[in-house]
C-alpha cells in the first residue's frame, strides 16, 4: 500500500470498511488525476489532498467529506469533470467537489472592511452544503501551512485573504483552532516583520520564565491530585501571535503592558469538575479581580464553552487559566464540524451541542426528522443569508436580495446606470437584463445614453431601490408625454377656430374659470381625455368657433410620443395603415386601424375619437402577426426565420398553432418599421415552396 495513503488510513478507525474502501478509491482516483502535477514546493501534488483528508479525519468528519477532501482539486486543476465524479462517487461528493471548485475561483481584491464582510457572506452563500465550507477551511489551512513555497506577491495576497475572509468564517462556525492557526499564518504572510517582533518578544518572556512556568504547572498538578479532582491534561498554552497583535492594536498597548501573554489549559472529565478545578487554581494563586468568566453557564454566541480566570503567578507573572471538559475542548476546536463527531453515538456529546443556542433548534429538527440532509439544509438557512453577492468588474462585492436580476444590480450601482442599462455581461457572457444573479458572478452592465426604462422593467426587478427608481421615472415620463400630447391636441383644436395660439391672457382666463393652478395640469387632463379641448378653448372670451367647413386637421403620430399613445392590441396598426384614435379617459389616445371592429363599436357607443394619421416619418418598430399555412416539413420554420431576417425585420416569437402530419398553421410574431417592410417579409415567405398562404392576423 502506498506510503502517502497510509498516513490517512491510520486515522480512519472510526469508519466502517465499506466507507474506508471508498476513501481508498478516491485516493487512487485523485493520485491518478494529479499524477503530472507538483506542488510549488516540488512535492507530488497528491500530498496536499491527502493532508486535507487527514485533517478532516482528525475532526472525525463523515466519510463523504473525506472522499470530497481527496478530490477537492480535481475539477479545478485536472481534466476530470463533475460527471466523472458523479459516476464514481455519487451525487453528494460530486456536489461537494463542484462547490469547492466554485469557491476556488473567487479572488478577494478589495481592502475595505465592508467589502470583506460582503465577500465572507458571498463565500457562505455559494456553498450549498456546510461541508463545502469546512473542507474549504481545511484546504486553506494546509495551503497556509505550506505557503512559504509561493512567490512573495502571491503569498501576500493569499495571506490577506486568509486573515480577512477565511479566519473570520472559521470563527463564525466556532472552529476555534483552525481560526487561530489561520490568523497566525495569515498574519505572518501579511506582516512578516510585525510577526517576528512579537514572536521574539514572547520567546524572551518565555525564556525568562521557563522555570516559573514549570513550577506553576507542577503546583497545579499536585494540588489537583491532593484535592482529588480528576483531570486529563494541564498544559502551558502560548497565546496566539495574531491575538496579541490585535490586542496591542485595539487597546493601543505596548507589548510590555500585556498581562496574559501565556496561559494554561486544564481539561477535565465532567462539567462539575470544572468548578472544582477552578477552586483548586484559585487556592493555589490569587485571582485577578473581575477577570473570571463562566462561559459554561453562559456560552458565547458561537457555542464556545469554558471557564476563564486570570491569576497572579509567582513573581507577579499574570496568567490566564482555561478550564473545560474534553467535549467542550472539541467543540471549541471543531465548532460546527463537531456535529459529525458526536452525530450518532455519544449522548453526552449531543447534550453538549444542545447548549449551543444556534445549533439547538437545528438539532431538534434533526431529531424530529432524523434526516441529515434536512439538518444541513437548516444549517444553511440559519447561516447563509437570504441574499446574493456579486462582483462589479472592479472587484467590489455588492449585496442584493435573493432572486435579484442584472437590472437590480445596475440600479444598485447608480440610478443612471439602471435607467440606461441595455444588456450585461455575466462572467464575460452576454445576458439579458432579466437574468437572475447567482452569488460569485462578475457582472458588467452595458449602458446606452439613449436607453430608458419601460413598464415591464417593474417585473424584472426585485430590490426596492430599483422598483422605486423605475416607478419614479415612469411617473415623470408619463406626465411629460401627456403634457406634450395635450398641447398637440389643443393646438389642433385651436387651428380649427380663428385663434392661432393661446396668449398668456387666454391662459389666465382658462385657469381662473376652471380654478386650476397650472397649464400643465390642463394639458395633461386633455391628453387623458378628462377635459375636452374645444371646451377649454371656449372659455377664452374672444374665441369663436369656425363656422361651417370641416377643415379638420389630423393629429400626426410620429412614433416618438412614448406612453401618451398606445397601439391597440386588437388590430395592431403599423405605419402605412389607415388609422383612427380613440380617446380613453385616464389612458390617453389609443390608435386603432380605421376599420377595426372594436373601434367602430366604440364609436357607435359615442366614445370620443381623435382624428390621427401617421406623420411622414415615423420612428420605432411595430408589432404585427402573420398567420401562415404551410406543409409540415422539417426546416420550414428555419426558412421562415431566414425570410424575416432577410427583410431586416425582427421575430418576437414563432408559435405552431395546430398541425397534422401534412400541414401546419404557424403564427409568426414580428416587429416591423412599416407596411412596406411587412410586404417585403410577406413576399419572401410566400416564395418558400412549402408555404400555402400568408395572412396578416388580425385583419
Point out which residues bind Mn ion (CB under 5 A). 73, 139
C-alpha cell belonging to residue 283:
487556592
Q: Strand 443-447 relative to strand 421-426: parallel, antiparallel, unpaired?
A: antiparallel
> Is 535 known to be catalytic?
no
Which one, 161 or 561, has the nearer CB to Mn ion? 161
Which one, 134 or 338, has the nearer CB to Mn ion? 134
| Pairwise CA distance, residues 372 & 353, whole Å | 16
Q: Which residue of the set 43, 77, 374, 520 is catalytic?
A: 77
Which one, 73 or 561, has the nearer CB to Mn ion? 73
DSSP-derived secondary structure for 278-343: HHHHHHHSEEPTT--EETTTS--TT----EEEEEE-GGG-EEEEEEEEHHHHHHHHHGGGHHHHTS
Q: In a 3-state reduction of DSSP, which class is residue 548?
A: coil
C-alpha cell belonging to residue 297:
453557564
Residues 239 and 263: beta-carbon distance below 8 Å: yes
Which one, 123 or 678, has the nearer CB to Mn ion? 123
Q: Where are the beta strands (DSSP E) in 118-230?
A: none
| Pairwise CA distance, residues 469 & 109, whole Å | 30
C-alpha cell belonging to residue 569:
392590441
Closest CA to 359 of 304, 297, 294, 298: 304
What is the smallest separation between the CB atom of 176 and Mn ion, expressed in angstroms?
Answer: 22
**325 burial class (0-12, 13-18, 19+ CB within 10 angstroms)?**
buried
| Pairwise CA distance, residues 654 & 657, whole Å | 9
What is the smallest separation between the CB atom of 73 and Mn ion, expressed in angstroms?
Answer: 5
| Pairwise CA distance, residues 294 & 306, whole Å | 7
| Pairwise CA distance, residues 624 & 637, whole Å | 18
Which one, 80 or 213, has the nearer CB to Mn ion? 80
Residue position matching grid coordinates 445576458 = 431
| Pairwise CA distance, residues 304 & 174, whole Å | 7
Which one, 33 or 400, has the nearer CB to Mn ion? 33
| Pairwise CA distance, residues 388 & 435, whole Å | 13
What is the smallest separation between the CB atom of 143 and Mn ion, expressed in angstroms?
Answer: 6
| Pairwise CA distance, residues 353 & 85, whole Å | 33
What is the smallest separation between the CB atom of 140 and Mn ion, expressed in angstroms?
Answer: 8
Q: Dihedral sign, CA of 56, 59, 60, 64?
A: negative
Q: In a 3-state reduction of DSSP, which class is residue 261?
A: coil
Which one, 48 or 247, has the nearer CB to Mn ion? 48
3-state secondary structure 455-509: CCHHHHCCCHHHHHHHHHHHHHHHHHHHHHHHHHHHHHHHHCCCCCCCCHHHHHH
Residue position matching grid coordinates 372670451 = 541
3-state secondary structure 137-151: HHHHHHHHHCHHHCC
Give the Cβ contact number of residue 141 at 10 Å. Answer: 24
Residue position matching grid coordinates 386588437 = 570
What is the smallest separation between the CB atom of 74 and Mn ion, expressed in angstroms?
Answer: 10
Which one, 143 or 378, has the nearer CB to Mn ion? 143
Which residues lie below 8 Å from residue 153, measured CB to CB, with a gap of 6+? none
Q: In a 3-state reduction of DSSP, which class is residue 187?
A: helix
Long-range contacts of 250-255 (CB under 8 A, 24+ apart): 255/198, 255/201
What is the smallest separation between the CB atom of 380 and Mn ion, expressed in angstroms?
Answer: 23
> Is 2 known to be catalytic?
no
Cα-based distances in Å from 152 to 157, 188, 403: 9, 12, 40
What is the smallest separation between the CB atom of 350 and Mn ion, expressed in angstroms?
Answer: 32
Residues written for the chain: 699
What is the smallest separation between the CB atom of 640 and Mn ion, expressed in angstroms?
Answer: 53
Residue nearest to Mn ion (CB): 139
What is the smallest separation between the CB atom of 376 and Mn ion, expressed in angstroms?
Answer: 22
What is the smallest separation between the CB atom of 280 and Mn ion, expressed in angstroms?
Answer: 45
Instruction: Report cis status (omega within 30 of 0) of the bond before 182.
Output: no
Which one, 56 or 338, has the nearer CB to Mn ion? 56
Which one, 70 or 390, has the nearer CB to Mn ion? 70
Residues in a beta bridge with 38: 44
Q: In a 3-state reduction of DSSP, which class is residue 408?
A: helix
Closest CA to 236 of 255, 221, 254, 252: 221
Which residues lie below 8 Å from residue 83, measured CB to CB, with a gap of 6+? 94
What is the smallest separation between the CB atom of 72 and Mn ion, expressed in angstroms?
Answer: 6
Which one, 71 or 241, has the nearer CB to Mn ion? 71
What is the smallest separation between the CB atom of 196 and Mn ion, expressed in angstroms?
Answer: 28
Which one, 32 or 512, has the nearer CB to Mn ion? 32
What is the smallest separation between the CB atom of 83 and Mn ion, expressed in angstroms?
Answer: 21
| Pairwise CA distance, residues 567 & 656, whole Å | 25
| Pairwise CA distance, residues 266 & 283, whole Å | 15
Q: Which residue of the set 9, 76, 269, 520 is catalytic?
A: 76
Residues in a beta bridge with 365: none
Which one, 100 or 489, has the nearer CB to Mn ion? 100
| Residues identified as active-site | 76-77
Amino acid at each position: 500500500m502506498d506510503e502517502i495513503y497510509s498516513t490517512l488510513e491510520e486515522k480512519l478507525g472510526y469508519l466502517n470498511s465499506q466507507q474506508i474502501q471508498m476513501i481508498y478509491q478516491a485516493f487512487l482516483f485523485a493520485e491518478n488525476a494529479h499524477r503530472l502535477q507538483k506542488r510549488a514546493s516540488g512535492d507530488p501534488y497528491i500530498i496536499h489532498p491527502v493532508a486535507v483528508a487527514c485533517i478532516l479525519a482528525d475532526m472525525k468528519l463523515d466519510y463523504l467529506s473525506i472522499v470530497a477532501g481527496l478530490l477537492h482539486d480535481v475539477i479545478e486543476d485536472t481534466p476530470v469533470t463533475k460527471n466523472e465524479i458523479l459516476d464514481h462517487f455519487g451525487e453528494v461528493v460530486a456536489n461537494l467537489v463542484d462547490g469547492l471548485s466554485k469557491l476556488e475561483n473567487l479572488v478577494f481584491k478589495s481592502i475595505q472592511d465592508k467589502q470583506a464582510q460582503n465577500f465572507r457572506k458571498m463565500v457562505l452563500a455559494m456553498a450549498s452544503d456546510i461541508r463545502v465550507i469546512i473542507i474549504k477551511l481545511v484546504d486553506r489551512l494546509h495551503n497556509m501551512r505550506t505557503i512559504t513555497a509561493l512567490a512573495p506577491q502571491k503569498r501576500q495576497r493569499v495571506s490577506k485573504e486568509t486573515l480577512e475572509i477565511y479566519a473570520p468564517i472559521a470563527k463564525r462556525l466556532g472552529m476555534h483552532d483552525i481560526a487561530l492557526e489561520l490568523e497566525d499564518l495569515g498574519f505572518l504572510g501579511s506582516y512578516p516583520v510585525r510577526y517576528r517582533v512579537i514572536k521574539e518578544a514572547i520567546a524572551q518572556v518565555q525564556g525568562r520564565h521557563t522555570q516559573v512556568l514549570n513550577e506553576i504547572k507542577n503546583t497545579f498538578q499536585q494540588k489537583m491530585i491532593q484535592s482529588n479532582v480528576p483531570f486529563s491534561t494541564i498544559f502551558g498554552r502560548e497565546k496566539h501571535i495574531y491575538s496579541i497583535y490585535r490586542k496591542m492594536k485595539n487597546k493601543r498597548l505596548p507589548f510590555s503592558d500585556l498581562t496574559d501573554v501565556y496561559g494554561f489549559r486544564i481539561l477535565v472529565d465532567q462539567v462539575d469538575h470544572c468548578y472544582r478545578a477552578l477552586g483548586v487554581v484559585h487556592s493555589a494563586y490569587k485571582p485577578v479581580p473581575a477577570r473570571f468568566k463562566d462561559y459554561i453557564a453562559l456560552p458565547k454566541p458561537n457555542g464556545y464553552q469554558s471557564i476563564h480566570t486570570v491569576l497572579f503567578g509567582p513573581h507577579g507573572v499574570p496568567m490566564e487559566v482555561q478550564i473545560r471538559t474534553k467535549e467542550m475542548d472539541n467543540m471549541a476546536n471543531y465548532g460546527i464540524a463537531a456535529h459529525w463527531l458526536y452525530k450518532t453515538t455519544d449522548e453526552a456529546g449531543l447534550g453538549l451541542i444542545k447548549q449551543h443556542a444556534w445549533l439547538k433548534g437545528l438539532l431538534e429538527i434533526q431529531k424530529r426528522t432524523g434526516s441529515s440532509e434536512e439538518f444541513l439544509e437548516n444549517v444553511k438557512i440559519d447561516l447563509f443569508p437570504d441574499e446574493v453577492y456579486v462582483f462589479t468588474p472592479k472587484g467590489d462585492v455588492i449585496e442584493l436580495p435573493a432572486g435579484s436580476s442584472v437590472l437590480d444590480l445596475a440600479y444598485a450601482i447608480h440610478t443612471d446606470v439602471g435607467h440606461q442599462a441595455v444588456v450585461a455581461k455575466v462572467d464575460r457572457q452576454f445576458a439579458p437584463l432579466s437574468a437572475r444573479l447567482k452569488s460569485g458572478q462578475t457582472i458588467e452592465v452595458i449602458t446606452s445614453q439613449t436607453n430608458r426604462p419601460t413598464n415591464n422593467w417593474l417585473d424584472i426587478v426585485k430590490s426596492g431601490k430599483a422598483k422605486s427608481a423605475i416607478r419614479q421615472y415612469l411617473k415623470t415620463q408619463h406626465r411629460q408625454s401627456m403634457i406634450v400630447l395635450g398641447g398637440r391636441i389643443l393646438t389642433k383644436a385651436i387651428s380649427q377656430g380663428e385663434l392661432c395660439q393661446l396668449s398668456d391672457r387666454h391662459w389666465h382666463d382658462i385657469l381662473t374659470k376652471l380654478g386650476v393652478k397650472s397649464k400643465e395640469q390642463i394639458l395633461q387632463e386633455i391628453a387623458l381625455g378628462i377635459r375636452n379641448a374645444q371646451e377649454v378653448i371656449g372659455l377664452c372670451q374672444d374665441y369663436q368657433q369656425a363656422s361651417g367647413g370641416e377643415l379638420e386637421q389630423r393629429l400626426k403620430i410620429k412614433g416618438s410620443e412614448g406612453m401618451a399613445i398606445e397601439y391597440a392590441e386588437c388590430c395592431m396598426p403599423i405605419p402605412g395603415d389607415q388609422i383612427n384614435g380613440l380617446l380613453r379617459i385616464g389612458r390617453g389616445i389609443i390608435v386603432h386601424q380605421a376599420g377595426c371592429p372594436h373601434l367602430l363599436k366604440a364609436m357607435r357607443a359615442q366614445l370620443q375619437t381623435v382624428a390621427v394619421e401617421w406623420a411622414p416619418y415615423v420612428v420605432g418598430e411595430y408589432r404585427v402577426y402573420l398567420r401562415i399555412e404551410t406543409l409540415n416539413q422539417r426546416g420550414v420554420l428555419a426558412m421562415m426565420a431566414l425570410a424575416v431576417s432577410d427583410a431586416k425585420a425582427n421575430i418576437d416569437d414563432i408559435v405552431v398553432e395546430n398541425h397534422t402530419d401534412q400541414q401546419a398553421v404557424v403564427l409568426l410574431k414580428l416587429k416591423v418599421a412599416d407596411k412596406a417592410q411587412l410586404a417585403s417579409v410577406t413576399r419572401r415567405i410566400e416564395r418558400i415552396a412549402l408555404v400555402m398562404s400568408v395572412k396578416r392576423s388580425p385583419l
